[in-house]
Amino acid sequence: MSKTSSGSVFTNMIWRYLERLGAQGVSFLVSLVLARLLDPTVYGTVALVTVFNTILQVFVDSGFGNALIQKKDADDLDFSTVFFFNVAACSVLYLVMFFAAPFIAAFYENEQLTPLVRVVSLTLVISGVKNVQQAYVSRHLQFKKFFFATLGGTLGAAVLGIWMAFRGYGVWALVAQNLFNQTVDTLILWITVKWRPKWMFSFKRLKALFSYGWKLLVSSLLNTTYTKIRQLIIGKVYTEADLAFYNKGDYFPHNMTTNINTTIDSVLFPVMAKEQDDRENVKAMVRRAIKTSTYILAPVLLGLAAVATPLVRLLLTEKWMGCVFYLRIFCMVYLLYPLQTANLNAIKAMGRSDLFLKLEIMKKAVGLTAMLATIFISVEVMTISFLVTTVISFLINSFPNRKLLKYTAREQILDILPNLALAGGMALVCFAVQFIGLSDILTLAIQVLLGVGLYVGGSILFKLDSFHYVLNLLKRFLKKRKKVQ
């Protein structure tokens, strides 16, 4: 593996992971406080609003940003062109949401949604200003800057959200928290990143970037719409409480997976793009990313599923116990996400955005079929169908790399099987502890300590390759930090 793809990659992954871990750690603590202060229906209301915003956010976050990272000779003209286009496009999107707000409120028969949609949608404009800065940081592997920007916004938003909840602002506490977080994050990034847009624009450059980016944009739009449409359906067909339990069950495994997945996605893609002509090197990076991420993520997700009952009751109180079933299913869903991310990044990095789009269309066709077949049965059955289609999606995502990298789905499963087997055994032992009949806090403490001991001990006993790899890289990182100090 090249110099760029070893030491530099891991250092940037560490900074990216610390950024995600810090942000999600603060958000997790805040969510516990807010979940105790606010009713589940409040979360259901906010979920309805943010679904539309999340779908439109795809137009900001995908396509051109990835095109700037993938293009070998991207310069100031490319970056400035995309910046001005993004700002204009996001302003138009905000106007669309502003005027659509009353119709959304009427559809859900909730007048409260009109002002909420208009305020939450301001994040679209903010993201338009931030997107190119993020692409610049990713392209130049300066992920340390993300750490300070994200943490600053998250800490400030935490204080504001909790204060507003205590003051009785209800749903607006969640809205203000998100808006403040995005604003401060953007301001800090603009202060720390040296790049500034220049007064230049090229339709020719925009067209060239668009030829690559539009396929990723449509792919991401399909993926996001497919994922979020479940929330729209649950909010319409079922109750806001059902939607709140579904979302809260997704919250914990999603955030834990995001820490790993975002790290892999944001760092691995630009590095693979630099190495796109060396297929063997790209395969080595994909393989290492899959093995390492699964080693870290499998015990976290399977362990979370095992301790779900005492954890939810202790942290969120009895009123949130309806989310336990969904939490366990989503732990299984997200277990395969790092594999999918690594496979798709290899396809993107080699310039095959056309293939990327075809895969998304295939996966969504399967997913929509399953969703339509279960929509009127129950929310639980809809969630189980999501798990089934996730397994199918992994097989679809890995199929092209059988030829592109000569790395089959079977090889990938065999690579992660030792990690899954050890994590699964640990989870079963931890799950059995709750039947002893101890208090929730004591049960959880025993489960966590036992789980860590079993997983680390098993890694040493069975000499897992990923354990020693992670340990050695952490030692190198800490040694490097000491030399810098």
What is the 3-class SS of 104-140, one letter each residue? HHHHCCCCCHHHHHHHHCHHHHHHHHHHHHHHHHHHC
Q: What single-letter amino acid sits at 414?
A: L
**Angstrom distances, CA of residue 354 to CA of 64, 189, 282, 366, 400:** 15, 32, 19, 19, 12
Which of the 8 DSSP states describes residue 199? S
What whole-number distance in Å separates Cα of residue 25 and Cα of residue 227? 24
DSSP E strands in 49-198: the ranges are none
Least confident interval from 27-36, 242-251, 391-400, 464-473: 27-36
For 65, the enclosing helix (H) or strand (E) is helix 64-70
Q: What is the mean pLDDT of the chain?
A: 80
Residue of higher predicted confidence among 380 and 76: 380
- Please say whether the beta carbons of 57 and 186 come within 8 A: no
pLDDT at 9: 55
The pLDDT > 70 percentage for the chain reads 78
Which residue did the predictor score with more confidence, 261 or 396?
396
> Which one has a higher pLDDT value, 145 or 292?
292
Residue 432: its pLDDT value, please?
A: 94
Indicate whether 22 pLDDT > 90. Answer: no
* 270 vs 4: CA distance, rounded Å: 10
Element (H, E) at 177: helix 171-192
Per-residue pLDDT at 483: 61
Contacts of 293 (CB under 8 A, 6+ apart): 260, 261, 264, 338, 339, 342
Q: Position 331: which residue type?
A: C
241 token code pair:
């409480």
Would you say 346 and 404 are in contact if contact means Cβ atoms under 8 Å apart?
Answer: yes
- 260 phi, psi to nearest 5 deg: -80, -45
The Cα–Cα gap between 30 and 32 comes to 5
**How many Cα atoms sit within 13 Å of 56 on the Cβ side?**
27
pLDDT value at residue 433: 93
Phi/psi for 136 (5° steps) reads -65, -45
Distance separating alpha carbons of residues 437 and 169, to the nearest angstrom:
39
Q: Report yes or no: 290 and 338 within 8 Å, Cβ to Cβ.
A: yes
Query: Please, which residues have CB within 8 angstroms of residue 274's CB and are 6 or more apart in sequence?
Result: 4, 5
Res 265: pLDDT: 56
- The answer to whether 264 and 342 have CB atoms below 8 angstroms apart is yes
Joined together, the tokens standing for residue 150 give: 């994200």
For the segment 321-335, the average pLDDT, to the nearest whole number, is 92
Note if the pTM is more than 0.95.
Answer: no
Please report, for residues 133, 145, 149, 152, 243, the alpha-carbon distance to residue 187 in angstroms, rounded to integers and kept in the order given.
11, 12, 8, 10, 33
**Phi, psi for 179 (deg, rounded to 5):** -65, -45
- Cβ atoms within 10 Å of 92's Cβ, excluding its own: 11
Q: How confident is the model at residue 2 (pLDDT cuts 50, 70, 90)?
A: very low
Q: What is the pLDDT of residue 271?
A: 58
User: Which letter, b or e, does each residue of 417-426 get, where b requires 16 or more Cβ atoms within 10 Å of its Cβ?
Assistant: ebbbebbeeb
Give me the helix-helix angle, 122-139 and 144-166, nearest 10°: 160
The span from the CA of 431 to the CA of 444, in Å, is: 10
Tell me what pLDDT residue 302 has.
95
Decide if pLDDT at 301 tops 90. Answer: yes
Mean pLDDT of 146-155: 68
In our burial notation (b when 16+ CB lie closer than 10 A, e otherwise), range 44-59 reads bbbbbbbbbbbbbbbb
Higher pLDDT, 275 or 343: 343
Residue 75 has pLDDT above 70, yes or no: yes
Nearest to 65 by CA among 226, 212, 274: 212
Count CB atoms within 10 A of the CB of residue 435.
Answer: 8
Tell me: pLDDT of 264 over 60. Answer: no
448-480 confidence digits (pLDDT tens): 999 999 999 999 998 888 888 778 767 766 666
For the chain, give the number of residues.
485
Give the mean model confidence (pLDDT) for residues 201-212: 80
CA distance 259 to 17: 6
Report H helices in 322-400. 324-334, 337-349, 353-374, 379-398
Residue among 286, 275, 260, 268 at smallest CA distance from 408: 286
